[in-house]
Chain A
Amino acid sequence: MTDYATLIPVSVVTGFLGSGKTTLLKDLLASPRLRETAVLINEFGEIGLDHHLLQHVAESTLLLDNGCLCCAIRSDLTEALRDLLSRRERGEIPYFQRVVVETSGLADPVPIAYTILADPILQNHFRLGRIVTTVDAVNGMATLAGHPESIKQVAVADRLILTKTELCESETVEPLIAKLRRLNGSAPIVRAEAGGLDPEMLVGEDMLGAKTGSGEAAKWLAADDANILDLDTHDHRHAEGGIYSFCLTFDGPLDWAAFGIWMSMLLHRHGENVLRLKGLLNVAGAAAPVLINGVQHIVHPPAHLDAWPDGDRRSRIIFILRDLKREEIEASLAIFNRLAHAPPAASHREGALGMV
């Protein structure tokens, strides 16, 4: 079976038009930390990127028969990643240990995740790394108000990078930060200082990484703790176009089979409105926590941490939802979790095909 920690991480830099994606990437690529990085960009903009492993992709997306926009194949990315891998193996290009994809300003980053997880070749060589979203501090509020694409980009992010903060007053920035926290309570918000961004922000170990997954989990739980208090005391669902985030906690262990049934059913029916979920689960019978990480209909294979990041042993799941009610999600999960303790029903056909 594939060890996900050994797969090549594909980090995504996204953000609305003019939000500073390319500037951010240019700064980061100057760091020696990104030397062994292949870069796929959507368009050659005014800011020239100088990198020895730079490739252009055309963002052609194939919709699947079910018409779901998140479960779409980025055929350009499939081809580009396969080609990179093939050329690396043949020694035609320098070795790389990670890939960074820069999307266009209007792009939905979710099909990138779907492409990597669904392609039979890519899924055995690549995994999704961090999704980093740039937000323009000057125009961010207006962009979020007028362009649903930008809200989606914020909601699915692992890191939010505030750009152009030097061009505006704190009275402009603070409401934007508050809005970003309401939309995505678990993503740390970083201000981009010229040339001062830590490359680890983009390519540091993520939750599926081998060693510091617990550190990453601790970070998003800490970010969440700081933000959820505010979320719990206000109903922001209508203020943010129906999008809001919250954290569910469960005191007792979760039954993995029951959880899988519930989550797969929820995402099948409501995946388009589950913009992001991240969870640290206390699974019955497991000594260490299990991490889950999903974007709309797409769920990463679960990973385990070597240890709990803090003394709290409760299961914690952060949801970023659109138009779904927290109380309904919470009640439903609790009822499904109790299924594991239900007595077997005589009418079930488990043994009907000679399974026993």
Chain B
Amino acid sequence: MCSLCGMLGGRRHWTESASNPSAFAHQSDRPTIRRERQQRTRLVNLVLAHYGLTLADWPPAKYILGNAKGGTHLVDNLGELWPAADRLLNQACDPLDRSLLRALSASQGDGN
């Protein structure tokens, strides 16, 4: 539990390297939890932009997923993010979706 805000710590998720220190013990530049959350938030937003959604980090343990209409969901981790995004969108986010991949490629300068 966070001693400042009283919030219970989020549930451990396999994607969080800071929560699995033994798995990343050999990392030469191990990120802090905060830096990892920042990086994750930045990259997720590149994907969510295609759907008109945004993610904001709410330290220490939550993220706020929102849409342009003001709809929001609090999520603990990526495992909770995608179902919440589906609910806001009324459609399933799909990493194999060609329009998403085209948009991501374009943002990377591929232009195709």
Give the B-binding residues of A (Cβ under 8 A). Answer: 1, 3-5, 66, 255-258, 260-266, 268-270, 283, 285-288, 290-292, 299-304, 306, 324, 328-329, 331-332, 335-336, 338-342, 344-345, 347-350, 352-353, 355
Contact = CB atoms under 8 A, between A and B. Distances in A.
B104 A336 contact: yes
Interface in B23-80: 23-30, 34, 36, 38-47, 49, 54-59, 64, 78-79
B101 A335 contact: yes
A264 B78 contact: yes
A329 B94 CA distance: 11
Nearest to B102: A335
A344 B79 CA distance: 24
A283 B82 contact: no
23 contacts: A5-B22, A261-B15, A261-B40, A261-B47, A264-B13, A264-B78, A265-B78, A269-B82, A285-B28, A285-B29, A286-B28, A287-B26, A306-B26, A324-B96, A328-B96, A336-B95, A342-B107, A342-B108, A348-B45, A349-B55, A350-B42, A350-B57, A353-B56
Given A348-B41, A350-B38, A261 B78 contact: yes
Contacts of A264: 13, 15, 78-79, 81-82
Contacts of B56: 349-350, 352-353, 355
Contacts of A349: 45, 54-56
Nearest to B95: A265
Nearest to B92: A269
Interface of B: 12-17, 19-30, 34, 36, 38-47, 49, 54-59, 64, 78-79, 81-83, 92-96, 101, 104-105, 107-108
B71 to A, nearest CB: 14
A265 B47 contact: yes
Contact of A344 (B20, B42, B82): B42
Contacts of B43: 255, 257-258, 261, 339-340, 342
Chain A interface helix/strand/loop/mixed: mixed
B8 to A, nearest CB: 12
Contacts of B21: 1
B24 A286 contact: yes
A5 B21 CA distance: 13
A270 B92 CA distance: 10
Contact of A335 (B12, B40, B104): B104
